[in-house]
Amino acid sequence: MHASKDPLHGITLEKILEALVAHHGWHGLAARVEIRCFMFDPSITSSLKFLRRTPWARAKVEQLYRELVRQS
């Protein structure tokens, strides 16, 4: 069986977001990806809703997660 080298393989957007918030906090995440759902009254639920509808924001979050995994 061939294992995927993509760190996003098999991980949900919710888990990605939880890992980023745990590592950077909401303030740090908002500084890296400037979107309102990270800056004002942030929550996992509101952020997931926005990211699922907004491909450019999701791409930025996924890239930030890839960088986090690479550093680990």
Averaged over 1-30, what is the pLDDT? 89
Is residue 5's pLDDT more than 70?
yes
Per DSSP, helices labelled H in 4-43 are 13-32, 36-39
Is residue 17's pLDDT more than 60?
yes
Per-residue pLDDT, 1:
54
The superfamily CATH assigns to domain 13-71 is SAP domain (1.10.720.30)
Averaged over 45-54, what is the pLDDT? 96
Q: Encode burial over 39-71: b for 16+ CB neighbours within 10 A, e otherwise.
A: eeebeeeebbeebeeeeebbebbbebbeebeee
Closest alpha carbon to 65 in 39, 45, 57: 57
- Where in the chain are the domains? 13-71
The pTM of this model reads 0.89
Per-residue pLDDT, 10:
86
